[in-house]
Copies of this chain bind each other. A is one copy, B any other.
Amino acid sequence: MAGAAEPKQDVFQAIADPTRRRLLRLLDGGEQPVTALSGHFPISRTAVSKHLRILQDAGLVHERKVGRETRYRLDAEPLLELKRWLAYYERYWENKLGALKRFVEDEEAAE
């Protein structure tokens, strides 16, 4: 079967930009067209559009044309690579930072 294909852009790179991280969050609320998204930023629609392209090249979002608009949808799957990368360092805070770990978990629970 087809399988992997998309790695045109690095995930780490893609999420490095705060605007792009925010876009992902916004899309968490569901599929949305470009203009709706760009309304949340102080930059031009075109600029937002470019960020969306980068996210798409990293496989984090997918577009779908509906009439005259292009709707973007979140795809969290590529974040698993990040999760795996992070897992490598997991032991650091499991072994040495027990107290801190508990603190963070409390934070997570409280959110």
Identify the A interface with B (CB < 8 A): 10, 12-13, 15-16, 18, 21, 24-25, 28, 74, 76-77, 79-80, 82-89, 92-93, 97, 100, 104, 107-108
Contact = CB atoms under 8 A, between A and B. Distances in A.
A contact face: mostly helix, strand, loop, or mixed: helix
Instruction: State the number of copies, please.
Output: 2
Contacts of A15: 12, 16
The 6 closest A-B pairs by CB, nearest first: A76-B92, A16-B16, A76-B89, A12-B16, A13-B16, A80-B104
A97 B79 CA distance: 12
A83 B88 CA distance: 12
B89 A86 contact: no
